[in-house]
Amino acid sequence: MTANLSRRDALKLAVAGVVATSVGCSSNAENSPAKSVAKPSQPMLDKWANTLDRTWIGGEYWANPMEDWHVKNGGVECKSSDGNRSVHSLTHRLTDASQAFEVSVVVQQLTINHNDGGAGLRLGINNEIDEYRSSCFVQRGLDIGIIDGQLFVAGKTISLNQKINKQPIKLQVQATPQYGAVLLDVSASLATTSKQLGQLSHLVPANEVLGNIAVVSNFKLRSKAGQRGGQYRFTDWTLSGDAFDVNPERKFGPILWTMYTLSDSRTSDGFVMKMSVFTGPMGHQDNHDVELQVKRDNQWQTLGQAKLDPDAWVAAFRIPHWPENLAQPFRVRYVEKHRDGSTTQDSYSGLIKANPTGRPLRMAAMTCQNDYSFPYAPVAENVKKLEPDLVLFSGDQIYESHGGFGIIREPFEPAIHNYLRKFYQFGWAFREVMRDAPTLSLPDDHDVMQGNLWGKGGMAKEHPELDPTASYMGGYIGSVRFVNAVHKTCISHHPDAYDPMPNSTGISCYYGDMVYGNVGFAILADRQWKSGPEQAGVVVGKTGIDEDPNLINPKINPPNPQLLGQRQEQFLAEWAQDWRGHELKAVISQTVFAGISTHQPSPQRYLKYDFDSNGWPGPARDKAVAVMRETKALHICGDTHLTSLAQYGVKAQRDSNWSFCTPAISAGWPRWWLPDQVGIPHQNRPRHGLAQTGEFIDAFGNKMYVYAVGLPDVGQSKNRYVKAHEKGSGFGFIIFDTQQKTYDIYAYRYLIDVADGNSSNLFDGWPVTIHQDENIGLNRLS
């Protein structure tokens, strides 16, 4: 107990340093640190008057949620009449309350309902880490606006001197510092005639205005069943004064970020570079072309243009015959059209690294981004410090809860926009990591908006009304078009698929391989063909609740059980024999092929069967591992929110591949592996003697040797970064030494500094070195 408290106290002290470094970190800088610029002498005016009609409202703003807003006829409008819809300024942030500032906006009510929530401005939007991106998702602050014919500031109100109906109203705030406080002089006037409608003054503590600033449609609505608020339009939003920190590099778009891979195709195409370029959802009149250039002989050369996909809003490039031995700067360019016929060019640059040869390959491996600790600065910054040659995100780049405001299943356009704005948080947090490093990003269950995924070969969920969270039954809940759009966002830049033929329902298939840095990687979709639990008559979360932990129950396996499916098994078998261009192999998939958890979501709740794990179905798991064994590959995966290093067994313990399940970037649903507490027997505990380790038979009857496991604490802190650390979050790192035929494996904790070399940065049991032939059971580690 004392040790835990001591560590927690240390974390509370350490987080202050992490926060201080992350506040000044721009997600928008091109190969240079973020910096504030001189305060403007003239007001900064929104650009909507010259923006074409579209959903994405501009790089200077973040809309909450994106799918509820659009630019229309020169203004931004909220399409929803629900509460707390907002648009944040990204480039302007109130940071110095000792200086004066002024804000104004023209507000117009488009629809009038009896349960009107009003509209106006919100100041002082901030959180415990004082950071602009994460503050965009705070739904509270100092509210100033008009509601029910009244002008209000915080809780202070005054009636307007006439009814306004649907007339545009100019709302203006002048802020004057007053010895540790700020005097807010607020006025409302008719925008067309400047006639004054009301004035109000209010003195607030200085800290209450600091942070993000936003316009808001429908402040918190009064509870009236079945009644929504009005709908509002905003124009002429101006911000001025020395109280603002102004940083144009915080702008996010039109080009949001890029991802790329470089792979030896072992065909006449040679090395192939593929790249995904992301923008927000554009309009029909917008430009839909993106240009790719590289710098050669000190000159920018255009390699081609690519169309933005109108569902996924990604432009995909494929460049064969890439000169793999050269590091080449790249930039992508997008020309934004405007209402007045003018254009603006946006550019995003990075580096295509040379194929790393003659030295070990360094890979960062990450999974699971629950956004309570967004923007995950400790992980993003530490990974950047380690300078990986390759970056892996093995799934759950989003969760359904990302950014708030729920999920949308249909119709398609708001549903995919709902997904995209969640996915954009992933790019916003990690684009500096991905800018200069090849990146793999696998879609998993939460990426397709499901609590769990048993894909059944691409089949649709038969009774979605019985499983609205898609957590208990097999099949896809989203439409084929939706799932394919998600796939495009994640894997358009991946090396070409081994067999791109879609499933019989039309869902795209992306499994295949990559050869890079003298290492071969097999990329699998380990849930797309997986049998559903209802096929075995089991009930997720209930079946096995009264069973003995050591009972192996064959009735939980469905007839003809599937895990990887015949197509992927055939691919793995062929890939196992193909060693062209590489000396080591790794299999990359979403999750571990064993049931390495006993308790969830608390250390007091024993749950025998975790059907989400790829330990189930047991017979299909054994078949998959038997094929994988022939590859001599390390299996790298994620998903469980419980990092582990284990060795699979099929015919005997420890006769097959090692698996590294990486820590979650930001662990949500927690799991524990506590076999010693529930009487599950073990054999041959590793030499290090750590509890909960050794040779086990999991609940599904699978043989496994658990060498190390990163058990979490219960997350309790109110600070997002400390809480993520408590919950066992972090990231993985693997060094592939193709000369020594070894894998050096590291499981790093969340709230650390990798540069200090402290051994406590790693979870207990790491680092570990695995030799290639240990993946066929010729074991050295004991």
Instruction: Say what the pLDDT of residue 610 is.
Output: 96
Rounded to whole angstroms, how far apart are CA atoms 720 and 694?
34
pLDDT above 80: residue 3 = no
Instruction: Say what the pLDDT of residue 42 is.
Output: 55
In terms of DSSP H, where are the helices of 199-257?
none
End-to-end CA distance of the chain: 30
Assign 363 a pLDDT band (cuts: 50, 70, 90). very high
pLDDT above 90: residue 37 = no
Assign 697 a pLDDT band (cuts: 50, 70, 90). very high
Q: Which residues contact 198 (CB under 8 A, 6 or more apart)?
A: 151, 158, 159, 160, 161, 187, 188
134 three-class SS: helix
pLDDT above 70: residue 154 = yes
Which residue has tokens 């759950």?
396
Rounded to whole angstroms, how far apart are CA atoms 241 and 295?
40
Output 155 or 490, whichever has higher pLDDT: 490
For residue 379, the surrounding DSSP H or E stretch is helix 377-386
485 three-class SS: helix
- The CA radius of gyration of the chain, in Å to the nearest whole number, is 27
Residue 512, number of CB atoms within 10 A of its CB = 21
- Which of 221, 219, 62 lies closest to 153, judged by CA? 219
**What does the pLDDT look like over 701-740, one tens digit per residue?**
999 999 999 999 999 999 999 999 999 999 999 999 999 9
Tell me 282's DSSP state. Answer: P
Q: Where are the domains positioned within the chain?
A: 36-246, 255-352, 364-776
- Which of 294, 290, 266 lies closest to 279, judged by CA? 290
Assign 21 a pLDDT band (cuts: 50, 70, 90). very low
- Which of 750, 751, 715, 714 lies closest to 732, judged by CA? 750
Assign 44 a pLDDT band (cuts: 50, 70, 90). confident
For residue 110, the surrounding DSSP H or E stretch is strand 101-111
Domain 364-776: which CATH number of 3.40.220.10, 3.60.21.70, 3.40.50.300, 3.30.70.100: 3.60.21.70
Rounded to whole angstroms, how far apart are CA atoms 761 and 248?
35
Which residue has tokens 């006639």?
195
Rounded to whole angstroms, how far apart are CA atoms 350 and 358?
24
Burial of 167 (0-12, 13-18, 19+ CB in 10 A): middle
Burial of 358 (0-12, 13-18, 19+ CB in 10 A): exposed
Residue 42, number of CB atoms within 10 A of its CB = 7
Instruction: Say what the pLDDT of residue 228 is.
Output: 76
Helices and strands (DSSP H and E) totals, the chain? 9, 39
Q: Tokens in use for 510?
A: 């992306």
**What does the pLDDT look like over 559-609, one tens digit per residue?**
999 999 999 999 999 999 999 999 999 999 999 999 999 999 999 999 999
pLDDT above 60: residue 632 = yes
Assign 27 a pLDDT band (cuts: 50, 70, 90). very low
- Residue type present at position 319: I
Assign 438 a pLDDT band (cuts: 50, 70, 90). very high
In the β-sheet with 328-337, what is the strand arrangement from edge to edge? 299-307, 289-296, 328-337, 343-352
| Span 468-488, average pLDDT | 97
**What does the pLDDT look like over 248-304, one tens digit per residue?**
999 999 999 999 999 999 999 999 999 999 999 999 999 999 999 999 999 999 999
Which residue has tokens 């956004």?
371
Assign 222 a pLDDT band (cuts: 50, 70, 90). low
Assign 225 a pLDDT band (cuts: 50, 70, 90). low
Class of domain 255-352: mainly beta
- High-pLDDT (> 70) share of the chain, %: 94
Q: Which fold has domain 36-246?
A: Jelly Rolls (2.60.120)
| Span 625-640, average pLDDT | 98
- Which of 684, 674, 733, 737 lies closest to 707, judged by CA? 684
Which residue has tokens 């934004």?
336
372 three-class SS: helix
Instruction: Say what the pLDDT of residue 25 is.
Output: 34
Output 717 or 116, whichever has higher pLDDT: 717
pLDDT above 80: residue 16 = no
Q: Which residues contact 254 (CB under 8 A, 6 or more apart)?
A: 56, 59, 279, 280, 282, 334, 336, 346
Assign 114 a pLDDT band (cuts: 50, 70, 90). confident
| Per-chain mean pLDDT for the chain | 94
State how beta strands 92-94 and 244-246 pair: antiparallel
Residues in the chain: 782
Rounded to whole angstroms, how far apart are CA atoms 395 and 446?
8
Q: Which residues pair with 667 in a beta bridge?
A: none
Q: Which residues contact 204 (CB under 8 A, 6 or more apart)?
A: 142, 154, 181, 182, 184
Q: Tokens in use for 272?
A: 């192939």
Instruction: Say what the pLDDT of residue 348 is.
Output: 99
User: What's this model's pTM, rounded to 2 decimal places?
Assistant: 0.94
CA atoms within 13 A of residue 635's CA, in its CB half-sphere: 31
Indicate the angle between helix axes 565-577 and 618-629, nearest 10 degrees.
Answer: 20
